Chain A
């Protein structure tokens, strides 16, 4: 892990704690609803570069975020979850699925190859993880919303034109997204997901029956609230909801530059070659 990357995780860990407090405070008051400016074709304009405020180490327990920094848990964040439904903050795995992923709690710091985070392989991150990892840009050419990631140079094209999903048997790392505007909220239905991505480092898996409904709601010029309702009857007992927010990155002249991943990732290859593994 580069020092640059590690320092970013420090920032996110702090921001996560602050963010949870901020959400609590905001829910007390009733602010005027924010109306974003419009694109030339009359859609809400949410373009820009954003930083997600979340964690992808363990979305069910922010305590784990500090593992990225000093390999020690952080009791101050214990129990805080990005899962807002069910109320206990836990992903509602079916019993067999909960059992299957149990070894990750022993292995996550030093995983055997089959327990290596798919992100460490530089594979496309999938939904919702690709909007929960470092800077990304929202671009709105006519008829589309396009998301460009810094990490892994992944992208996602969201047609906002009423078109149907592709045939069901085609499974994709980034899924097949179709969007619509509900007032100022972008609502995206994500189908055709493959079964290869996790939500975090903790073997939080899903099947290729996963379906996601996302809501991107701009609540101020510089902040988008994001919710993803995740349904997968093969792995979970009920739909569950993942919630984070994105802060506009106001660094002047910022561009989302290339960050090649697999091209430079010798660590990944070493991991797979370790003797006895």
Chain B
């Protein structure tokens, strides 16, 4: 009887759904069984923020971009503005990306590689193609007591309506925000907001606080796009292994 009722409902759905065209922008977001937004899937940013957070014209091998910083300005203390200029001058060797180190938060979110979000009611995990970085977002729990210096920080999440809010602390002073030397101290505090704006888009926003380096908090924002390719999986970009591989297997030479 129940099975029959389900069949009737399904049949009804088949007729109803095509009859109600829904514009993409207002299509409903995906939800978990508990009603929370379902952020799982493979995502990627499409910004040029990894080259430069701020608006910039194209250069050789650098695509132009309008920037991701609200107000187009990073409020450095004077000494820090000078440090950023020095970083820029030395960027060819000083950028931690050139050493293949874990890129930190928020930089990992706009590296030009895909990442996958896994979600259960109690946990959100992110795995990244770039240097097999991982973010574990523990829900509704406090940060461990510091001082702790982690490359990717410590992420603690909570839901604010349909927005996942992630508080990230416990950073090193070794990571940059981009290839132009925008930087922070180990006192960095990032507050991220992941707001789904449809089944295949998340609006990402990060508030960046670091009183040692910046005169006031500032914000970046950009959309994350669901990667739609059939059969897609997160592959590997093992940056520091390139050029050091050794092939052990060589076919025995025939006599």
Contact = CB atoms under 8 A, between A and B. Distances in A.
A and B pair up? yes
A148 B125 contact: yes
A148 B251 CA distance: 35
Interface string B122-153: 01010100001110101000000000001110
A262 B132 contact: no
Given A96-B252, A258-B151, A148 B136 contact: yes
B231 A100 contact: no
Contacts, number: 98
Interface string A119-135: 00111100000000000
Contact of B249 (A153, A163, A235): A235
B118 A123 contact: no
Interface string A131-173: 0000000011110101010000111010100011010001011
B36 to A, nearest CB: 13
Nearest to A195: B249
Given A96-B252, A260-B151, A139 B125 contact: yes
Q: Is the contact region of chain B dominated by helix, strand, or loop, or is it mixed?
A: loop
A174 B246 CA distance: 16
B159 interface: no
A124 B238 contact: yes
B119 to A, nearest CB: 6
Most chain A beta carbons < 10 A, residue from B101, B133, B134: B134
B231 A164 contact: yes
Contact of A262 (B101, B116, B231, B234): B101
B203 interface: no
A206 to B, nearest CB: 7
A123 B238 contact: yes
A263 B123 contact: no
A226 to B, nearest CB: 22
Interface string B211-255: 000000000000000000001011110101100111111011000
Interface in B94-119: 100-102, 116, 118-119
A256 interface: yes
B246 A263 contact: no
Q: Is the contact region of chain A dominated by helix, strand, or loop, or is it mixed?
A: loop
Contact of B118 (A146, A154, A172, A235): A146
Interface in A171-220: 172-174, 176, 195-196, 203, 205-208
Contacts of B9: none
A203 B249 CA distance: 12
A208 B251 CA distance: 12
B123 A139 contact: yes
A166 B151 contact: no
B238 A263 contact: no
B238 A173 contact: yes
A230 B190 CA distance: 45
Interface in A74-120: 94, 96, 100, 114
B172 to A, nearest CB: 9
A240 to B, nearest CB: 16
Given A234-B249, A262-B100, A163 B152 contact: no
B63 to A, nearest CB: 26
B241 A208 contact: no
Interface of B: 33, 40, 100-102, 116, 118-120, 123, 125, 127, 132-134, 136, 138, 150-152, 174, 231, 233-236, 238, 240-241, 244-249, 251-252
Given A124-B236, A141-B119, A262-B101, 9 more contacts: A114-B246, A121-B244, A139-B125, A146-B125, A170-B235, A173-B238, A205-B248, A258-B151, A263-B102
Q: Which 9 A-B pairs give the minimum distances between C-beta atoms?
A: A207-B249, A205-B248, A141-B118, A96-B252, A258-B150, A263-B101, A155-B127, A260-B151, A172-B236
Interface of A: 40, 94, 96, 100, 114, 121-124, 139-142, 144, 146, 148, 153-155, 157, 159, 163-164, 166, 170, 172-174, 176, 195-196, 203, 205-208, 234-235, 255-258, 260, 262-263
